[in-house]
Structure 1
Amino acid sequence: MFADLLKRLTAPEPEKLPDPDARLALGALMVRIARSDGDYADVEIAEIDRRLMERYRMGPQQAAALRAQCEALETEAPDTVRFTRAIKDAVGHDDRLAVVEAMWAVVMADGVRDDAEDSLMRMVVNLLGITDQESHAARLRITKP
C-alpha cells in the first residue's frame, strides 16, 4: 500500500515530499515512538489524533483516519535509522522540528518517560538533524503548564 512512498523516501537522493506524504511519514514517527515501549496506550493515540488535528486543521474523524494510515505505514516502514534519515532528506527543518515537539507530547501523554522512548527520541532527534538544544526546548514547551 505504501510501497511507492517508501521507495521515494529511500531513494538515493529523495525529493521533498508532497504534503500528504509528509503527513504520513511524520505521523508514522509519532506512532513509532508511541509503540516503542510496548504499550500503545489510548492516551497516546488520543495525543497523536490531537496533534494531527491541530497541525493539519482537520476534524476528529479525519485525524483518526490519517492516524490509521500512519499506523499502517509505520508497520511497513524500514528500520528507524533508514526511515528517519529518509525523512530528514525529504522534509523541511521546521516540519521536522514540529514533529519532534509532537513526539515529545506523545511520550509525555501517559505521564511516564520510559527508557525505550527516551532512547528512541535521542536517536530520532539526531537523525532528523534536530539539535539537542532544539529537542530540549520542544520538550519544555510540552511539559510546562
Structure 2
Amino acid sequence: MFDRILDLLMPGGAPRGEPEIHVAVAALLVEAARMDDRFDPAERRAIRRVLGRRFALDEASIDQLIATAEQAVEGSSALYRFTRVVAERFDPAARVGMIEMLWEVAYADGTLDPDEDALIRRIAGLIFVEDHERGVARQRVLARSGNVPQG
C-alpha cells in the first residue's frame, strides 16, 4: 500500500487521502532527522513515537511508513510536495502540531543542529505557521521533554 503512495508522491502525483498524509508527515520528520547528517536511534524512536501518537498506527505500519518516507526523501530534492499535503489537508492547529513533531525529532538527540532549526523554520513557512507559533511549539516540546536546549 505505501509503495503506491510513494508513487503518488513522486513528481506529477496528486496525493489524496489519509495514507498520503501519513507519508508526507513521515517524510518531513525523516528529513528533519537527517538534517544533521545523522539519523540516530533516538531520532528514529522519536519519529516512531510521534507517528504512533498522531496516527494511531501499529508497530508494523509505523515501520513500513518510515521505510516509505525514507525512500520518498531519498528520491526528492524538494520539500514542497510534502509540505503542500500538510498545508492543504491540516487545519491551523494540526499544522502547529506538525511543527511540534518536528521539534520533538530535532531535540531527540539532545542537541539542536542549526540546519535542523533552519529546516523547521522553512517548513513552518511552507505550511503557514507563524514564527511566534513555531516558537511556542518549541517551548511546549522542551517543557514536555525537560530538555535544556544546546546548540
1:88: Cα distance to partner? 4.8
Give the Cα separation in 2 of the matches to 1:27 and 1:96.
14
Structure 1 residues 95, 19: CA separation in 2 closer, same or farther (over 3 Å shift)? farther
Deviation, 1:89, is: 4.6
36-45 or 50-59, which deviates more: 50-59
Q: Which amino acid aligns with 1:130?
A: V
Q: Which residue of 2 aligns with 1:53?
A: 52
Asked if 1:98 corresponds to 2:97, the answer is yes
Alignment of 1:77 with 2:76, yes or no, is: yes
Q: Distance in 2 between matches of 1:134 and 1:117?
A: 17
Structure 2 match to 1:123: 122
Deviation at 1:103, TM superposition (A): 0.5
Structure 1 gaps, min length 5: 10-14
In the alignment, what sits opposite 1:35? 34
Sequence identity, in percent? 25
With normalisation by structure 2, the TM-score equals 0.81
Q: Which residue of 2 aligns with 1:3?
A: 7
Cα-Cα RMSD: 1.9
Indicate the residue corresponding to 2:63 in structure 1.
Answer: 64
After superposing on structure 2, the runs of 4+ consecutive aligned residues of structure 1 that deviate more than 6 Å are: none
Supply the AA of the counterpart residue of 2:8: D
Unaligned runs of 5+ residues in structure 2 are 147-151
How far has the Cα of 1:85 moved from its partner? 4.8
Match of 1:143 in 2: 142
Give the equivalent residue in structure 2 for 1:44. Answer: 43
1:110 has 2:109 as partner: yes
Q: Separation in 2 of the partners of 1:23 and 1:85?
A: 12
Query: Are the structure 2 counterparts of residues 105 and 77 from structure 1 closer, same or farther at C-alpha, using a change threshold of 3 Å?
Result: same
CA distance in 1, matches of 2:83, 2:53: 25
Q: Which residue in 1 is equivalent to 2:84?
A: 86
TM-score (norm 1): 0.85
Deviations 1:6-30 (A, max 9, x none): 3235xxxxx7x31110110111000
Which structure ranks higher in relative contact order (CA pairs < 8 Å, sequence separation ≥ 6)? 1
The answer for the alignment partner of 2:149 in structure 1 is: none
CA distance in 1, matches of 2:83, 2:101: 18
Q: Paired residues, what number? A: 138
